[in-house]
Amino acid sequence: MTVTRFAPSPTGNLHVGNVRTALHNYLWAKRAGGTFMLRIDDTDLERSKEEYVDGIRADLAWLGLNPDGEVRQSARFGLYEAQFEKLKAAGRVYACYETPQELDLRRKILLGRGLPPVYERPDPNAPVPEGRTPHWRFKLDHDKPIEWVDMVRGAQKFEPKLLSDPVIRRADGSWLYMLPSAIDDVDMGITHVVRGEDHVTNTATQIQMFEALGAAPPQFAHEALLTGKEGKLSKRLGSLGMDAFKDMGIEPISIAALLARLGTSDPVEPVTSLEPLVATIDFSRFGRAPARFDEEELAALNARILHQMPFGDVASRLPQGMDEVAWTAIRPNLTILSDVESWWSIVKGPVAGERAPEDAEFLAEAATVAEGLDWSADPWSALTAGLKASTTRTGKSLFLPLRRALTAMDHGPDMKALLPLIDKNDAISRLRG
């Protein structure tokens, strides 16, 4: 069974890049009828905050990306310790005693010689520096290249001797990302890992960790990173949380519809549920070029989605008394859902309609015609047909004064759909002014 995971660190709010990763993991799992897990990577006990854990859960729920289960790394330290001891016994982790300053100096020396700044393993027989507590590194196997077929990037190959043995544990005993993540992926049965291309080198080293743990690595998909209109991930874009999009009036499905297709060869399309996105996710259609996130494109997509949103999806968020007929009439004019309030207030009134002096007689005639109409049929067509017969007006000179008197607007919903929503007596009163 396909099992994916989204593994955020609760050290801040989710932003669009995080959400894109979560979305693709969710869609891939659901397309295969599999499981989507949330893993809270809270090994950094000092920086991790419970408020951010709550925020992550709330944001995923708002987006409809409901996990099938949740684990927290802070509850799994015993598992990491046990696996660490096994790796130590197998000679795959080793103690190191350099200070950060010593490591930095050595990197500069190597660079100065035109050499790659790869960590140089210490002599195992060297004496232990007095008074220093070790940090720990994972020992890469230099005898064979690291290879895998990435679902986005294709065949990948790394020479391990060109990679530094990664630090997996600090001198204070706390864990870094690499080893606990691999241990968790094995223990949770993760079959696919979808993440940003900035993790490709991490994957190379983690593949050897999976092998050292006696497990086959999952399949990997490393997607191109998001950029803003400026050509890079701006600080604004990198800090835009879901609360910001809520404040803008963006629907969660609009965010999903855009992020699901950005950077792929599939078009961004207005959808009203996640199902079409689940059915069409295909990592072979993901490109290698950076994916550009444009807030203006999101706003336009949000409007297109609202224009086809079913009544049942929004009924609980509409003004009291607004039914499906009213929603269908008004939704083509919405940019964000809260715009519905102003249009509904036009329906319910009162409305101070505008009227030019030269339209006074025409509007009085319109009120007279309206009095004799069956409001349950098609009052707009009957009203305009009657006025064409009793006046010399046609086209804009006929329709615009009526719209202005009835709605105080020059544009808006189709009057054929809107006028029946307005109470007949209110409409006559507006025409009379």
pLDDT in tens, 93-131: 999 999 999 999 999 999 999 989 999 999 888 888 888
Whether residue 367 contacts residue 383, with contact meaning beta carbons closer than 8 Å, is answered with no
Q: Map residue 362 onto helix, strand or coil.
A: helix
CA 103, distance to chain mean position in Å, is 39
Candidates 3.40.30.10, 3.30.420.10, 3.90.800.10, 3.40.50.200; CATH matching 78-146+158-169: 3.90.800.10
The pLDDT of residue 231: 60
Q: Which CATH architecture has domain 348-432?
A: Orthogonal Bundle (1.10)
> What are the tokens at 161?
């001797």
The span from the CA of 211 to the CA of 140, in Å, is 11
Helices (H), 196-354: 200-212, 235-239, 242-248, 252-261, 275-280, 295-306, 311-314, 324-330, 340-348
The pLDDT of residue 235: 54
The pLDDT of residue 230: 66
The span from the CA of 25 to the CA of 27, in Å, is 6
Q: Is the model's pLDDT at 239 over the cut of 90? A: no
Domain ranges in the chain with CATH number 3.40.50.620: 3-71+178-225
The span from the CA of 378 to the CA of 90, in Å, is 83
Please give the full DSSP string across 41-70, using - where no structure is assigned.
----TTT--HHHHHHHHHHHHHHT---SEE
Whether residue 204 contacts residue 146, with contact meaning beta carbons closer than 8 Å, is answered with yes
> What's the length of the chain?
433
The pLDDT of residue 131: 87
Structure confidence at residue 227 as a pLDDT band (50, 70, 90): confident
The span from the CA of 57 to the CA of 73, in Å, is 16
DSSP state of 94: E
Question: Which residues are paired to 196 by β-bridges?
Answer: 223
The span from the CA of 279 to the CA of 328, in Å, is 27
Average pLDDT, stretch 156-185?
96
Q: Is the model's pLDDT at 225 over the cut of 70? A: yes
The pLDDT of residue 236: 60
Question: Which residues are paired to 137 by β-bridges?
Answer: 94, 167
Q: Count Cβ atoms within 10 A of the Cβ of residue 337 and give its class: 0-12 exposed, 13-18 middle, 19 or more buried.
A: middle
Per-residue burial over 341-373, b if 16 or more Cβ lie within 10 Å, else e, is eebbebbebebebebeeebeebbebbbebbeeb
Average pLDDT, stretch 55-78?
98
The span from the CA of 201 to the CA of 147, in Å, is 11
The pLDDT of residue 237: 61
The pLDDT of residue 352: 85
Candidates 3.40.50.620, 3.40.718.10, 3.90.1570.10, 3.90.740.10; CATH matching 3-71+178-225: 3.40.50.620
CATH superfamily of 235-311: Glutamyl-trna Synthetase; Domain 2 (1.10.1160.10)
Whether residue 158 contacts residue 145, with contact meaning beta carbons closer than 8 Å, is answered with yes
The pLDDT of residue 228: 80
Average pLDDT, stretch 23-48?
96
List phi, psi (to 5°) of 131.
80, 5
The pLDDT of residue 308: 97
The span from the CA of 283 to the CA of 333, in Å, is 36
Structure confidence at residue 233 as a pLDDT band (50, 70, 90): low
Closest CA to 224 of 198, 259, 261: 198
Q: What share of the chain is helix, strand, coil (3-state, %, to 5)?
A: 50, 10, 40
The pLDDT of residue 238: 58
Q: Is the model's pLDDT at 232 over the cut of 70? A: no
Q: Map residue 219 onto helix, strand or coil.
A: strand
Domain ranges in the chain with CATH number 1.10.10: 348-432
Higher-confidence position of 234 and 288: 288
The pTM of this model reads: 0.92
